[in-house]
């Protein structure tokens, strides 16, 4: 049995958001997906629009319009979920679409962190520790995604852990909104929590893939 064959299922680690919440959110997306179909929008178009909204939101955050930025980030996050649902609903899933979605997701996340970091530099009297937390959170976020991609590359699944992309976005949006209401420590605290949780998630994914590989390899050696 090769590593690219079906791997045994292991119970995934729970994420920050309960599965019932995610299921309810997917149900709420159905009208948006129907609207996209009626407008003849493709999943790739939705992906690009979502990135555009994220760029505008990041610029707004960087220039101090935090609450408007948080609202736009929420809209961008909704579109991020819509493109995949639209692809499944229309049978439009393609390899390029998956590649484009993943690439622009990483781009949008980086741009968002840059926007938040710019605001911190311009508005926090002692920005060193907040910026360190932000850089660790950004590095951890990219490592979480990289671990998932590398696991897929060897035929295994690693979509486990406390902070997948949706959870990370929600935390950042909440932090930006808190700063917009004048509670800057809320944003700094969330960035610190996110820095810790992303590193924990990377470790969870490494352990998960190790367990999967250990379950496969003895069979491989004996075949």
Residue owning tokens 């995604």 = 145
Q: Is the pTM of this model over 0.85?
A: no
Domain boundaries, the chain: 19-213
Give the Cα separation of 64 and 100 in Å (integer): 30
Which spans in the chain are helix H? 19-28, 30-38, 43-62, 66-90, 95-123, 128-153, 165-180, 184-222
| Token pair listed for 35 | 């609207």
Residue owning tokens 């408007």 = 68
pLDDT tens, position by position, 50-78: 899 999 999 999 999 999 999 999 888 88
What is the band of 4 on the pLDDT scale with cuts at 50, 70, 90? very low
Overall CATH class of domain 19-213: mainly alpha
pLDDT tens, position by position, 195-215: 999 999 999 999 999 998 888
* pLDDT for the residue numbered 26: 61
Residue owning tokens 């064959």 = 5
Q: What angle do CA 82, 84, 85 make, to 5 degrees?
A: 65
Using only C-alpha atoms, what is the Rg of the chain? Answer: 19
* pLDDT for the residue numbered 218: 60
pLDDT tens, position by position, 139-160: 999 999 999 999 988 888 888 8
Specify whether 83 is catalytic: no
Give the Cα separation of 203 and 161 in Å (integer): 9
Catalytic residue among 101, 105, 126, 159: 105
């Amino acid at each position: 049995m090769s590593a690219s064959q079906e791997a045994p299922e292991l119970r995934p680690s729970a994420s920050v958001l309960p599965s019932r919440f995610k299921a309810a959110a997917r149900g709420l997306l159905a009208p948006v997906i129907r609207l996209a179909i009626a407008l003849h929008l493709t999943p790739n178009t939705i992906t690009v629009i979502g990135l555009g909204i994220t760029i505008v939101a990041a610029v707004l955050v960087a220039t101090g319009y935090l609450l408007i930025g948080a609202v736009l980030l929420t809209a961008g996050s909704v579109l991020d979920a819509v493109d995949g649902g639209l692809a499944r609903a229309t049978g439009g899933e393609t390899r390029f679409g998956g590649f484009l979605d993943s690439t622009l997701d990483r781009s949008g996340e980086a741009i968002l962190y840059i926007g938040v970091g710019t605001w911190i530099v311009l508005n926090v009297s002692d920005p060193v520790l907040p910026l360190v937390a932000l850089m660790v959170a950004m590095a951890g976020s990219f490592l979480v995604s990289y671990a998932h991609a590398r696991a897929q590359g060897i035929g295994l699944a690693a979509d486990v852990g406390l902070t997948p992309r949706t959870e990370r976005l929600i935390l950042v949006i909440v932090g930006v909104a808190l700063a917009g209401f004048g509670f800057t420590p809320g944003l700094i605290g969330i960035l610190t929590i996110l820095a810790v949780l992303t590193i924990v998630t990377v470790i969870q994914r490494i352990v998960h893939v190790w367990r999967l590989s250990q379950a496969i390899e003895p069979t491989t050696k004996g075949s």
